[in-house]
Structure 1
Amino acid sequence: MTVPYVPVGGGPYERGLRHGWARREALRAFLADGLCRLDRILPAPVDRDGLPELLAGYESAIRAATPDLAEEIRGLAAGAGLTLDEAVLLQVRREILGYQRVPTMGDCTTYACPGPDPLLAQTVDLNGDLDDQIAVLDTGSALVLSFGGTLGYLGVNRAGLAVGLNLVLGGQWRPGLPPYLAIRHLLDRAGSVTEAVGLLRDTPLASSRSIMLCDRDQAGYAEVLGDEVRFQPAAEPVHTNHFLDPEFAEHDEVNVFARNSSQRRLDACRTRLAALPAGAGAEEHFALLAEPPITVPDSGDVRRERTVAAVVAYGGRGELHVRPGDPSRSVTDTFTLR
């Protein structure tokens, strides 16, 4: 499987137009597949009558927080032949799923190593069998991993900042800027971890997440719960899917089975990372990510998370190394900022 590469230079609307045109057939098929497979994952089909009002609330929040990304969504709709509501739905699909109706069993293992050759690596664990929806967007200033038409998910920018993420569950999810778009916002605007944390604190997010950040000088994770952002720097930070901040942990909504899985992956990743030799290359990091319990196997149930990609990102080099699908069975595609 080869990861599609989509150059999307130009102004905001033109970037969306290029993205939409390049992924037109895939995105239209995705929307036709039970409304981005939401109907196959949720206990009951999505309420089509109430959806327009909900999406309008998200679109308004996105436009208020990031006007350029709102224009890019408009361009995406035009390029792919979608309605604006459909293009917005692609950005907020995870928020529509929520966390109360769809119990999660895990969602990514992420770590970072700052220094002269800074590195961020992670698995991407999602439900919905989304490995067929993967693409890499090249905005000219950032390389961005995308799933199903999202304008952001994780990536690296020309300033040397790498950004990854983990799902954590807590607080009230509400119309706001989806974390996937917030990550794109950081890649567009921030030149360092410090600047990225400041932007996160100034941006109302729609849902809880942990955002992993890495540059030459520092690395750490910013846990987001409601309107609060707690940043924890570390020499080699590792994060999975439960809150690590003690106060946030009191509000963690992850179920006990997912909590146990998250802790196993956290412990395994810390142990294996400590054992890696200094200067280990991308393939050695992929070997770490590709072994259980860090890689989550396919159970055959579209409702369950599984590893749909693994990524090793070098911020200083402007490189994104991607293994689509199960990383123990796929080969590496490498992308470099133009």
Structure 2
Amino acid sequence: MSEQTREKQKDRSLESFPFYRFRGTHRQIGQQFGEACSELIQKHRDYARNRLNSKYHVSTKRLQEAVLQYRPFVQKYAPGFDEEVLGIAEGAGITLEEAYLLQLRAEINHYCKSNTECTTFAILAEATSNGVPLIGQNCDLPAFYSELGVVVEYVPDEGPACLMLTPAGQVSYIGINNLGMGTFANFLTCDGWKPGFPRYMLSRLALTKRNVEEAVDLVRHVERASSRNLIMLDKNGGAADLENTPNRDAIIQPENGLLAHSNHYTAESLLAEERLHGVELENSRVRLNRMQELLKENHGKLNAQLMQEILRDRGSYPHCLCQIQGDEKVQSPGDKGADIITFASVIAEPSEGSLWVAIGPPNQFEYKRYSFSEG
């Protein structure tokens, strides 16, 4: 370790996201989540509503009607998730509509969404230093999400356990299951959004399966509400990136054991679906190129520790892998509401059941390792 690296470590905070383990029926898991994180969940609700109303006024009645349009799709494809949302509402003392709003931030707030969100990667064993495949991402969202992040181990009575980073009150975001699968995700922008299965829940839905092939088949047959990119990896060497719209999809395979993605369509068959433009499209392209460059340069040397340094990279300023407060003023100088930072950074070793998580921006915080309570 260089002297310069040691000096940087001294300046980083050891603060970490709170960790919780919830087990039982899906309803019980939701109730435990709601009770344990009630203050954070209520804060999340307030932030979500305030952000929505600051740019696009929505009456309470209209909001309630809007969010409940999505519930039948959750009940159809993942009834256990609906039970968890019900339990969260009960445990946190909020309404069912408010609990569903937390699962539907992008769908309900799409009039004022920001699109510079997240850079993901997947690395097969052949490209690592130790034969342990890796998957993860830098999570770029409004800065207040740094206050709301939690690491949760879900242990349902039926089905695989999951270890996820998620904003408080959200039943799904990004993470791994105890079968050796990892699923991470990016925002994509296209037309045709409609009531359907919420985009955030696709990650955990994929984690109900034991391998990438099964997960891709499942996601393809869901009536999706909106666009989403899913990058997936399993312990058997399977990996794929699934770009999708509400009605179409395309698979991107690893090249030389590497996959990376940001926030624009890259599959030839979906290029016409792209609706990102201007500085946001430039930001996404620069971040993707930078991630690909760093992964290729370090092929054969990659491991969880080296990925921590890559995810702290700011070499492509102002469109950085690690986005800090103030970058948005350069990226979007005319948008006073722009406040996107890397609120969290996650590296997973699904075959090892390990999740490394740092509060963001990760150049200011150390990573902490989390693992399943049972092998």
> Above 0.5 in TM-score?
yes
2:45 is aligned to 31
Q: Which amino acid aligns with 1:275?
A: E
Question: Does residue 106 in structure 1 map to residue 116 in structure 2?
Answer: yes
Once structures 1 and 2 are overlaid, which stretch shifts more, 84-93 or 53-62?
53-62
Offset at residue 265 of structure 1 (A): 0.7
| 1:312/1:322 contact within 8 Å kept | yes
Offset at residue 302 of structure 1 (A): 5.4
Q: Who is 1:156 aligned against?
A: 176
1:243 corresponding residue in structure 2: 265
Matched, 1:206 2:228: no
Task: Give me the whole-angstrom Cα distance separating, in 1, the residues matched to 2:297 and 2:322.
Answer: 18
Deviation readout 1:30-53 (Å, 9 max, x if unpaired): 32346263334xx23333231111
Q: What SS is found at the alignment partner of 1:254?
A: coil
CA deviation profile, 1:233-275 (whole Å, cap 9, x unmatched): 2121110110011121111011221111111111111111112
Aligned mates of 1:32, 1:166 — CA distance in 2:
24
**Alignment-mate amino acid for residue 182 of structure 1:** L
Q: Name the structure 2 match of 1:85.
A: 97
Which residue of structure 1 aligns with residue 24 of structure 2? Answer: 10
Query: What one-letter code is carried by the residue in structure 2 that aligns with 1:32?
Result: D
Cα displacement string for residues 141-172 of structure 1 (whole angstroms, at most 9, x for unaligned residues): 11011113111111011111110011110131
Residue 143 of structure 1 pairs with residue 163 of structure 2:
yes
Maintained 8 Å contact 2:30/2:85:
yes
Match of 2:349 in 1: 314
Percent sequence identity over matched residues? 26
TM-score by length of 2: 0.85
Matched residue SS, 1:237: strand
Tell me the equivalent position of 1:133: 148
1:336 corresponds to: 371
Secondary structure of 1:76's aligned partner: helix
> Quick check: 1:274 aligned with 2:274?
no
Deviation at 1:280, TM superposition (A): 3.1
Per-residue displacement from partner, 1:204-238 (whole Å, max 9, x unpaired)?
11110110001131212001112222122212111
Normalising to structure 1: TM-score of the pair?
Answer: 0.94
1:253-304 Cα distance to aligned partner (Å, 9 max, x none)? 1122111111111111111111225253323101101112211221376543
| Aligned-CA RMSD value | 1.7
- Per-residue CA deviations over 1:159-191 (Å, capped at 9, x if unaligned) read 11110011110131111111211211111x210
CA distance in 1, matches of 2:348, 2:74: 27
Pair 1:327-2:365 in alignment:
no
Q: Provide the rounded CA distance (Å) in 1 between the counterparts of 2:178 and 2:31.
A: 23
The residue identity in structure 1 corresponding to 2:153 is D
- CA distance in structure 1 between the partners assigned to 2:150 and 2:50 by the alignment: 16
Aligned residues: 333
* Larger Cα-atom Rg: 2
SS in 1 for 2:117: coil
Q: Secondary structure at the match of 1:316?
A: helix
**Residue in 1 that maps onto 2:274:** 252
CA distance in 2, matches of 1:76, 1:180: 16
1:143-222 matches, within 5 Å, as 143-187=163-207, 189-216=208-235, 217-222=237-242
Is the alpha carbon distance of 1:32 and 1:108 closer, same or farther for their aligned partners in structure 2, counting shifts above 3 Å? Answer: closer
In structure 2, C-alpha distance between the alignment counterparts of 1:86 and 1:113, rounded to whole Å: 38
Contact 2:250–2:269 (CA under 8 A) maintained in structure 1: no
How much has 1:102 moved relative to structure 2? 2.4
User: Can you give the 5+ residue segments of structure 2 that lack an aligned partner in the other structure?
Assistant: 1-14, 126-130, 156-160, 315-319, 329-335
